[in-house]
Structure 1
Amino acid sequence: MMCSFLPSFCLLIAFAALGHAQEIQRKPLVLTKGGTPEQPAVFDGKGMVIDLGIDITGHDWLKDGDVWTSRGPLKGYPPVDDTQRACMFIDEAPVRVTRDRDAEKKTGVAKKVIYAAPKALQPGQMGWTEDGSVYFRWPKEKKPGEGRVIQPPAGLASGVVIACSHITVRNVTAIHAANDGFNIHGARIGIRLENVKAFSNGDEGISAHETVQMDVFDSEIAWNGSVSGGVADVNDSVTTYTNCELHHNVNAAFMFDGKSHRVTNCRIHHQDKDIVIRSPDVVVEQSGNTWTKE
């Protein structure tokens, strides 16, 4: 089990600031070449960091206490009506899109999007004005002006995309993706993640879809912005998580809606919920886990 919490994120940021160009990648990592059951392919990132974030701290913000507003639209930052994911980060902390559902309903217009007004925002929430300016209220754990404001890339890029079977991926960190940190779709089997970190991604840190079969070991999933949780494995996926640490993700540590899952010896802390099981047909085995809300 790795030592995590805020120091691990700060060390990551410090590492990036040192300018280790060979270790920091600013575009998604897409893995398409797998192996065989007898000889799986191995991708060892050796500490590689996939950081898709765009630092917009230095923008000329209009500042009204802890509510900051851009002066006009920001490049590559169009309004997002999807409240499933976070669309901004203050350092590690996700900032969530918030809509005024009552105001939308009163218009009588189908699919009308009205964001919560700046004064109505709770800490860690955001929206857009009609002219496309973005505004947000600083998270309660952050003092205004003392933190980096990070914009994920436009679109739905994930940090690491695994598009093959029979592959082991180890020692890779994915942060600030607009979508998932580690995203696996399709009929992929024999996926193994070892000592990976999924920090501060817009949607889940790790997410398996369709009929993916995956085993995750000794990994850390934290500060991800999905309303589902730090991990969301869905459809007919079959997954296991062993000796992992999950904390500070929005809502739950794990959300399972796949076929079957096993969580063993995982440490869960600073989470409102540990494991959410969406369907009664999902089989989830648990043993040796610990969960504390603080």
Structure 2
Amino acid sequence: MPMRSLTNSLLWFAALTVSLHAQEIRRKPLILSQGGTAEKPAVFDGKGMIIDLGIDITAHDWIKDGDVWSSRGPLKNHPPVDDEQRAGLFIDEVPLRITRDREAEKKSGVAKKVIFAAPEALQPGQMGWSEDGSLYFRWPKEKKPGEAHIFQPPPGLASGVVIACSHITVRNVTAMHAANDGFNIHGNRVGIRLENVKALSNGDEGISAHETVQMDVVDSEIAWNGSAAGGVADVNDSVTTYTNCELHHNVNAAFLFDGKAHRVTNCVMHHQDKDIVVRGEGVTVEQSGNVWRKE
């Protein structure tokens, strides 16, 4: 990462840390199940609420071999996870990708055998588990070993905010360090609106709409999320719009659309491998006024 980008990253995390200390932090997922009507939507204003599900394990008695660190036996509530779709740890804001050795799995001849990449084979920002359940990782390039916090996502597949109703506006909420999505919406939900939310450093996507969800997202930030798909992944028959949003430092793409119809307007995307990925047939994506820069 260029020095300017690294400096910006450090400033971003420092500002976020100040914000975390300034606001009350909720350590449990927020589940919203009471919606309104099309004429009078319900409103949930978090007023700066921060939902941080991360568990700080920096003080663990790590075995340190340069930039490869290993736990002494299994970490509590963090058994091996075979899903490479998402991140399994965070170094400050940076997600660490779960990495498997597919060639070794194939050679084993055992159906559904899971073998993680060996510690010496890891690239920066990757992680895995030993047969005894010990976790190991290689520090990402952006971070100097021992000079950042290490966060473990919560057990299971918890999301930060779960929207389980229709006709609701959610504003001024930050969701971070969830094992699954920052903002997760499933089912036949319509009239969903997210305003000024932040989806930061979640194991899977920052925001993800599924099934027949209809959702509008405005003035929001989606960054540092660990999904192999992207910062946003709207799938199935979802219909979504994103307006005046900023997406950066997510693994792979800013947006992945595999739903029905989507519109991206006046969004800024930077520090991403890709901007918008469209997957599947019959998906329509409209774009206007967006700014894309790789760095």
Same fold at TM > 0.5: yes
What's the offset of the Cα at 1:279? 1.4
Q: Measure the CA separation in 2 of the matches of 1:195 and 1:186.
A: 23
Give the aligned partner of residue 11 of structure 2.
7
In the alignment of these two chains, the number of paired residues is 288
Equivalent position SS for 1:14:
helix
Residues 89-104 of structure 1: matches in 2 within 5 Å? 89-104=90-105
Give the aligned partner of residue 86 of structure 1.
87
Q: Measure the CA separation in 2 of the matches of 1:70 and 1:271.
A: 31
* 2:224 equivalent to 1:223: yes
Give the aligned partner of residue 284 of structure 2.
283
8 Å Cα contact 1:218-1:242 kept in structure 2: yes
Give the aligned partner of residue 116 of structure 1.
117
User: Match of 1:98, as an amino acid?
Assistant: T
Give the aligned partner of residue 107 of structure 1.
108
What's the offset of the Cα at 1:5? 5.6
User: Match of 1:119, as an amino acid?
Assistant: E
Q: Measure the CA separation in 1 of the matches of 2:242 and 2:290.
A: 11
Instruction: Give TM-score, length-normalised by structure 2.
Output: 0.96
Q: Measure the CA separation in 1 of the matches of 2:10 and 2:209.
A: 26
User: What is the identity percentage for the equivalent residue pairs of Structure 1 and Structure 2?
Assistant: 79
Give the aligned partner of residue 39 of structure 2.
38
Equivalent position SS for 2:72:
coil
Change (3 A) 1:209 1:219: same
Q: Measure the CA separation in 2 of the matches of 1:29 and 1:7.
A: 28
Give the aligned partner of residue 51 of structure 2.
50
User: Match of 2:70, as an amino acid?
Assistant: T
User: Match of 1:267, as an amino acid?
Assistant: V
Q: Measure the CA separation in 2 of the matches of 1:198 and 1:228.
A: 15
Q: Measure the CA separation in 1 of the matches of 2:176 and 2:284.
A: 30
Equivalent position SS for 1:201:
coil
Equivalent position SS for 1:230:
strand
Equivalent position SS for 2:16:
helix
Equivalent position SS for 2:276:
strand
Q: Measure the CA separation in 2 of the matches of 1:8 and 1:143.
A: 17
What's the offset of the Cα at 1:214? 0.2
Runs of 4+ in 1 over 6 A off after TM superposition: none
Task: State the Cα RMSD in Å.
Answer: 1.1
Q: Measure the CA separation in 2 of the matches of 1:13 and 1:180.
A: 21
Deviation sequence 1:90-119 (CA, Å, 0-9, x none): 000000111111110001111001111101
User: Match of 1:201, as an amino acid?
Assistant: N
Give the aligned partner of residue 152 of structure 2.
151
* 2:257 equivalent to 1:253: no
User: Match of 1:130, as an amino acid?
Assistant: E
Give the aligned partner of residue 272 of structure 2.
271
Point out where structure 1 has 5 or more consecutive residues left out of the alignment: none
Change (3 A) 1:193 1:165: same
User: Match of 1:164, as an amino acid?
Assistant: C
Give the aligned partner of residue 183 of structure 1.
184
What's the offset of the Cα at 1:8? 3.8
Equivalent position SS for 1:286:
strand
Equivalent position SS for 2:230:
coil
User: Match of 1:59, as an amino acid?
Assistant: H
